Structures are given as C-alpha cells and as structure tokens.
Structure 1
Amino acid sequence: MQPSDLDNRVATLNDRYRHHSATAVLEHALHDPDAGKLALVSSFGAESVVLLHMVSVARRDTPVIFIDTQMLFAETLVYQQELAERLDLRDLRIIRAADTALQRQDPDGTLHKTAPDACCALRKTEPLQRALDGFGGWITGRKRFQGSSRSTLEFFEAEDGTGRIKVNPLAHWAPEDLRTYMEENRLPRHPLVARGYPSIGCAPCTTRVNEGEDPRSGRWRGQDKTECGIHFVNGRIVRQGENA
C-alpha cells in the first residue's frame, strides 16, 4: 500500500523537527503549513497548564477546546476560568453534548453507572469530533512515559479515519520535566492535585489515589476501563490515555 499524503506529511514533519525541543515543536507546528490548522484540546486537568502556557506564549489566538461533560468537578470549572484569564487565551471554545442527545441517551444522568464507555462517547468523543471539524490536526498532551502503547510516540502522527494530524509536543518529557516547567514558570496547579487527585476526570468517575498507587488508578476505579476514548487507531475510537 502506498503512503497517503497524510502519512507523507507526518513523516516530513517528524524528520524536520525530530531533534527540536517541546516548545520549538509546538511553535513550529502552529506556523507550519504541513501541520495544517491546529487546535489544542485541553482537559484543564492536573498537567494541562504546561501546554496551555506554551500555547499562550507561542500563539495566544490558537483555538483551545475544552470539553465540559457537565459532570466535572467544580474545582475544574473554576480552574479553567482562572487559567483562561491568567494566560489570556484568545480563542477558548467550551463544548458540550447536544441537549437532544443527552435527553435521548442519558435523561437521568446515570449512564456513567451502567455504560461508562457510552457515557464518554456521548459527553466527550462525539462533541470533540464535531468541534474538530475543519481543523487539520490537534495538539495533545500524551507522553511516552504514560504506558507501553506510547513508548514510541512521535511528535507528529496520523489520526486514522479522520485525515487529521495529532501533535504531541511533550512526547519525550518525563514527570520531572513537567514539574520543573510548572515551577520555573510559577504556574498554578489544579487544586485537586494537592488533595490526592493526580489524574482528574469527571467527578462521579474519579477518586483519590493512595500513596504507591498508579496515578491513574483513581479513574473509573473498580471497572475494566482506564481511558475516556478520544483517540483513534485504524479509524476506531480506543481508550488510549488522558489528552491533558
């Protein structure tokens, strides 16, 4: 099978920026025609402030997409407002599931208890795909250290089934790199991190993490589910990690 135009562009971008730093990759991607029009998708979670700050420095008018599932912690909503103001984000887009879809699929707000994957699809995946319509790609916070499935993650990758590029500026960063960046730039942490929530999702599906546990063990605790499902492989929605 011949490489597609998308695959060729991704290969060109990875060759072009392979030895660049995270900040340089992000800045170049936001101005490189081969990357297309990009949006940053942010959960305004535990580590999100790093990419949000980078974007505010590199190109403040970059569209920032925030998915309000209407089941988030109040602290996340306040943090989102405070960061947007502090970083002077010029194009923040808050998206939600359509009211008609919520009434049809989750009228009493209990879908997360009986079908968590369906709840994530309704409140996260479907609204995001609509919001990304018209973009050539999107910026994610995924990193190689987050699991074996990401151990070879590149700065740029093709999103099968959509024709878009995903940009992963922090692919090579370690946890200490995140902490150092936050400290050096005096960036505020999500208030729930200090209360035992190193990974933060929707309130009904997130619990505190005990000392020694995996940072994501508080997400969907007790269920055979570890991710929300906003990434694609071979055109299919799969659970592959927090997008930060």
Structure 2
Amino acid sequence: MDAATVTSPALARLRESHKGLGGVELLEAMIKTEFPGKIAVVSSFGAESAVLLHMVAQVDPTTPVIFLNTGKLFGETLRFRDRLQEKLGLTDIRAVGPHPADLAAKDPNGGLWNADPDACCYVRKVLPLERALAGFDASITGRKRFQTNARAGMDPIEEEKIRGTGVPGSDAGTRFKINPLSYWGQDDLERYMDEYKLPRHPLVKDNYLSIGCMPCTERVPEGGSYRDGRWVGRDKDECGIHLPNNLDGDGI
C-alpha cells in the first residue's frame, strides 16, 4: 500500500462492517453513517475525476471537495473543474494552494519543479492538502490499483498517520482514507462515464491519460502505458500526497 498505513481496532471494524463494498455503496456508508460532516473528497479534476465526483454528488452534493490548485495546472483543468461543478451540482469545492511564505522560501522563481520535483510537489501539494484536511476524520480519493505499482495492494479502506505541518490538530493521530474505486479498471471507468454521459477532461482526446501539473505532464506516446506521461525521465510516479516518506518535518 502506498499510504503511511497503520492498523487499529477501528480500521478492522470498518473493513469488516463494509467488506465487499465499493463505489456508491461504500461512499454512502462512509459519508452518511461513519463520518457525517467529517469527511472530504480529494480531487485533481483530472482525466477520470468525473466518475468519483458523480458518485459523491449522488450521495451528498454538499460533501466538501478539496481541489489542489498548485499554480501550475493546465487551464483546461480549471475550466473542467467549473464545468463539473455546474453539471454535478457540487456545492462545496475548496480550491487550496501553496502558502506564499512556503513559495518564497522554497520556490521563489517558480522553477523548483525542474530542479527538484519531489520538493515542488511537497510545497504545492502535500503541505496545502494536509492543512486543508485538518479537522476531517477521513478523506476520499479516486485512486485505483491499476495506476501505479505502489497502489497495487491498496485496500478500499485505509488508515494513515497524519503528517506534521505545524497546523494545530494536523500533527498527531491518524485519519482514514477511503478508496471506493480501488478495484476499478480503465474499462469500468469508461463504461461508467458512457452510462452517465459524463464529460471527459478536454486533454484526454490529445492522449494525456493521467493529468497533473502542466510542466510535469506530457502526452502518452501511442501504445504507451497509462502513467507514462507523468514526470517523464524522472524516477517518480507519485506526487507524494499518498506516500509515507513525506511524514513529519519538511519532508523534502
């Protein structure tokens, strides 16, 4: 598993109580029963985000959606976010970004993505997300097992250590992570989008199959794998928000 996972009696109970659930059924149990008012969705508004967000909107369109606006996104992603919000009726999308003080200290010229992409992801994604999740007991992700080797053993319900950021309430304890699409494949996603006539991210038609920040995302060559367009030429296939090596301190 790619999260800094831990185990507890609470995790064992959740897994046993909701064994075999996924998709809308798991979301309904988590949003309405297990963590009412204490759960948020984390969404990149990327290539497949419409599936998870459509499911969440069916369960409760007021569920907070945390959107990491790194300052390096494609304009198409920002417009896609607005289109999905209008179409799905999501009422609480929270765009969060890097703190100006962090950028001044770590990336004053905006070129950290090239010099040290792990550090750039930490400043622009990891820290802002942890600050945004302070006060929530659980988060919902759209991760799937097929996406990366690190995600291949991912469970639909995980528990992870909370990263230390200096924000009160965000530097101790654990938080649950819900992955309702963990067992879904690309064909499942395509069928769902076709069934509900969900819009595609506009860059998908240009063979951007996994979409992140503009400087670190490229088209996937014909016949290439799903994640081949991310951090091309780097020994990297995760931004870090789901990895244990970004725990505590500045994590860079």
TM-score by length of 2: 0.87
Which blocks of at least 5 consecutive residues in structure 1 are unaligned? 238-244
Shift of 1:104: 2.0
Q: Answer yes or no: is 1:60 the counterpart of 2:61.
A: yes
Per the alignment, residue 166 of structure 2 pairs with none
Shift of 1:34: 6.0
Given candidates 194, 204, 208, the residue that maps to 2:215 is 204
Per the alignment, residue 242 of structure 1 pairs with none
Shift of 1:172: 1.4
C-alpha contact 1:144 1:151 (8 A) present in aligned 2: yes
Structure 1 Cα separation of the partners of residues 54 and 218 of structure 2 = 27
Shift of 1:236: 3.2
Q: How many residues align?
A: 233
Structure 2 Cα separation of the partners of residues 96 and 14 of structure 1 = 33
Shift of 1:14: 1.2
Per the alignment, residue 228 of structure 1 pairs with 239
Shift of 1:68: 0.2
Q: Answer yes or no: is 1:96 the counterpart of 2:97.
A: yes
1:23-57 deviation line (CA, Å, top 9, x unaligned): 10011110123687110000000011101100111
**Percent sequence identity over matched residues?**
48
1:117-139 deviation line (CA, Å, top 9, x unaligned): 11000000000000000000100
SS in 1 for 2:32: coil
1:5-36 deviation line (CA, Å, top 9, x unaligned): 96212111111111224210011110123687
* Pairwise CA RMSD: 1.9
| Change in 2 beyond 3 A, CA 1:155/1:101 | same
Structure 1 Cα separation of the partners of residues 54 and 156 of structure 2 = 18
Structure 1 Cα separation of the partners of residues 134 and 218 of structure 2 = 33
Per the alignment, residue 70 of structure 1 pairs with 71
1:146-200 deviation line (CA, Å, top 9, x unaligned): 2443333221111124510000101111111100100000000000000010000
Per the alignment, residue 19 of structure 1 pairs with 20
SS in 2 for 1:49: helix
| Runs of 4+ residues over 6 Å off in structure 1 | none
Structure 2 Cα separation of the partners of residues 118 and 147 of structure 1 = 20
1:73-128 deviation line (CA, Å, top 9, x unaligned): 00001101111111111111000111122122111111111011110000000000
Letter paired with 2:223: G
SS in 2 for 1:39: strand
Structure 2 Cα separation of the partners of residues 204 and 179 of structure 1 = 27
C-alpha contact 1:56 1:89 (8 A) present in aligned 2: yes
TM-score by length of 1: 0.90
The worse-fitting range, judged by mean Cα deviation, of 194-203 and 137-146 is 137-146
| Change in 2 beyond 3 A, CA 1:155/1:218 | same
C-alpha contact 1:13 1:34 (8 A) present in aligned 2: no
